Structure 1
Amino acid sequence: MKTLKLTLGQPDFPVTVTYYQPAAIADFDQPPRRPLVILLPGGGYRFYSDRENEIVALQYLAAGYAVAVVAYRLIDQPPVYPTALYQLTQVVTTFQRHAATYAIDAHRILLVGFSAGGHVAALYADLWPQLVQTCGLPATLGAIQAVVLAYPVIGLRLGWPTDAATRQAISGDWDLTEADQLVTSQNPPAFIWTTKTDELVPPQNAQDYVQALRRVGVPVRFHLYPHGPHALSLARPLTAFAAGADRDATFGERYVEPTVATWFADQLAWLRRLM
């Protein structure tokens, strides 16, 4: 594996990307062009969750994907929007233009977003044609082949955040933050999951986005699991909080949900059929 720290984008909105490239296999006469996951961790726009960052990237790497983890704009530099979307546009189009350099397949790029990162991914999936145009890039760039959303924020009116100050720090004067209201037939196919008992981002977020996609005929795979807190990540011990670490002794057990943990293999199978 090769790991690179890249700074992409224009001077007004640079973005740091950590790129994980699978090692070349010496037995192959022709090195394969890997599909690319562009990974957007959650963290409430305040930080990037380590439980949805490199740990998840390595799971995709093991499945044969290259991975680019994006450090999009946070609320310590308000507002988040539209800068986060311009940053993501530059990431997508840079990898498309330089696919050979990064040994990826420019026609097999997907976004994977968790929680707040899912909001960034969903908005990009909705708005990519106009984002590409606004960034002065060729109209032939910007399309992605799929989006995977885990317990995503979809609209700032749908239960998170609960305070006006945070909403303002996220949106500023940008009024295109309700992803379910911006869906078009140009949206890519989507794999979306959440839980009925998510205590932070109500499942209505995911459900409203799924309904919007289905109304315009975009293919969707949706899992609404019956149990589990917000931010399950892989829902395996690998991404659970340590039991008893600054919390009650059973806290970490809540983040291990074997039924939910099937999502990762399910979406890999879905992606294989799609891409």
Structure 2
Amino acid sequence: MQVTTKTLGQGRLTVQITLYQPATIADFHQDVTRPLAIILPGGGFTFHSQREQEPIALAYAAQGFAAVVVHYRLIDQGAVLPTALWQIGLVVQHFRHHAAAYHISPEHLVLAGFSAGGYLGALYAGLWMTDDIAYQVGCPTAELRVNALALAYSVIGLRFGWPDDPRLVQAVVGDWPTHEADQVVTAQNPPTFIWATQTDELVPVENTLTYLRALNRAGVSVRATIYDHGPHGLSLAQDQTAFPKRFRPDNPTFGAAFSQPDIASWFNDELAWLNRRWQLEDFWRNQ
């Protein structure tokens, strides 16, 4: 595994990324072309959650994917929108344009967003074909396309209960008018995998339900799961991403809620969905 942190872009449009590339399997006597997961971690626009960075990247890498974590703009750097959308476009265009050098398949890009990162992913999925992003990145619109979108407990609209602080909403949107992801869905949205929990105490499940209705109206292929329990921010919902007892000495059982074996199946479900859509068995075997 090679892990590289680099900065893409120049001038006023730059973004830092961390790329996880599985090592070449020497037994094959050739380089392997891999799908790419572009990961947008959550963190409420104030930080990038590490629980949704390397653990997620390694989960994809274990399935043969390359993975890249996008360190998109946060509110301490100014309004998140639209700069974060331009940054995502810059990452997508970079890996499409340099796919051969990275041994990436440009037709197998999945944009994977969590919570606040999912909000940016959902917005990007509805706006990637607009002239604004192409102009800012400096590329043809076709180079901004992703092939699938995967969302976990995602914010979709800033009007559904989170953020509940108008100052945070303003810090996110600035003067950007199109900031409700369900309202920018078109038939050009990528096929979407999405999951959430009914008892999410931070991001109401209405976000996901509203997005599902918008995708359905637009005729976008979607696979969705609403679990009937579970807190916000589950990540892989496994022990290694659950909060340890020392995180909350006053409540040592707090972290146990973040390990949910039935919900942890979401990642395998997503891979099965991608396998069916992309025929990954043939993709691997026909190289």
Normalised by the shorter chain, which TM-score bucket?
over 0.9
- Superposition pairs of residues 13-24 of structure 1, within 5 angstroms: 13-24=13-24
Is the Cα contact below 8 Å between 1:244 and 1:250 reproduced in 2? Answer: no
Question: For residues 164 and 245 of structure 1, what CA distance do their matches in structure 2 show?
Answer: 29
- What corresponds to 1:56 in structure 2? 56
1:165 aligns with 2:192: no
- Superposition pairs of residues 1-275 of structure 1, within 5 angstroms: 1-130=1-130, 131-246=133-248, 247-275=250-278
Structure 2: tracts of 5 or more residues without a match: 279-287
TM-score by structure 2 length?
Answer: 0.94
The one-letter code matched in structure 2 to 1:273 is R
Q: Secondary structure at the match of 2:189?
A: coil
Question: For residues 138 and 236 of structure 1, what CA distance do their matches in structure 2 show?
Answer: 40
After superposition, the C-alpha distances for 1:126-165 in whole angstroms (9 at most, x for unaligned) are 0001122443311331111100000001111111100110
Question: For residues 89 and 192 of structure 1, what CA distance do their matches in structure 2 show?
Answer: 21
Q: Secondary structure at the match of 1:173?
A: coil
Q: Secondary structure at the match of 2:225?
A: strand
Question: For residues 84 and 176 of structure 1, what CA distance do their matches in structure 2 show?
Answer: 13
Structure 1: tracts of 5 or more residues without a match: none
TM-score by structure 1 length?
Answer: 0.98
After superposition, the C-alpha distances for 1:185-221 in whole angstroms (9 at most, x for unaligned) are 0000000000000000000111111110111111100
Question: For residues 173 and 35 of structure 2, what CA distance do their matches in structure 1 show?
Answer: 32
Question: For residues 135 and 59 of structure 1, what CA distance do their matches in structure 2 show?
Answer: 30
- What corresponds to 2:284 in structure 1? none
Q: Secondary structure at the match of 2:102?
A: coil
Q: Secondary structure at the match of 1:27?
A: helix
Deviation at 1:36, TM superposition (A): 0.3
Deviation at 1:32, TM superposition (A): 1.5
Deviation at 1:183, TM superposition (A): 0.2
Task: Give the percent of matched residue pairs that are identical in Structure 1 and Structure 2.
Answer: 53
The one-letter code matched in structure 1 to 2:247 is A
The one-letter code matched in structure 2 to 1:230 is H
Question: For residues 61 and 225 of structure 2, what CA distance do their matches in structure 1 show?
Answer: 23
Runs of 4+ with >3 A deviation: none
Is the Cα contact below 8 Å between 1:244 and 1:251 reproduced in 2? Answer: no
Question: For residues 100 and 234 of structure 2, what CA distance do their matches in structure 1 show?
Answer: 35
The one-letter code matched in structure 1 to 2:165 is D
Is the Cα contact below 8 Å between 1:228 and 1:257 reproduced in 2? Answer: yes
Question: For residues 244 and 6 of structure 1, what CA distance do their matches in structure 2 show?
Answer: 33
Question: For residues 15 and 216 of structure 1, what CA distance do their matches in structure 2 show?
Answer: 31
Q: Secondary structure at the match of 2:245?
A: coil
Is the Cα contact below 8 Å between 1:42 and 1:115 reproduced in 2? Answer: yes
Question: For residues 95 and 31 of structure 2, what CA distance do their matches in structure 1 show?
Answer: 18
CA RMSD of aligned residues (A): 1.0
Q: Secondary structure at the match of 1:109?
A: strand
Deviation at 1:244, TM superposition (A): 4.4
Question: For residues 127 and 233 of structure 2, what CA distance do their matches in structure 1 show?
Answer: 26
Question: For residues 94 and 79 of structure 2, what CA distance do their matches in structure 1 show?
Answer: 24
Question: For residues 30 and 245 of structure 1, what CA distance do their matches in structure 2 show?
Answer: 45
Q: Secondary structure at the match of 2:13?
A: coil
Question: For residues 155 and 11 of structure 1, what CA distance do their matches in structure 2 show?
Answer: 31
Deviation at 1:179, TM superposition (A): 0.2
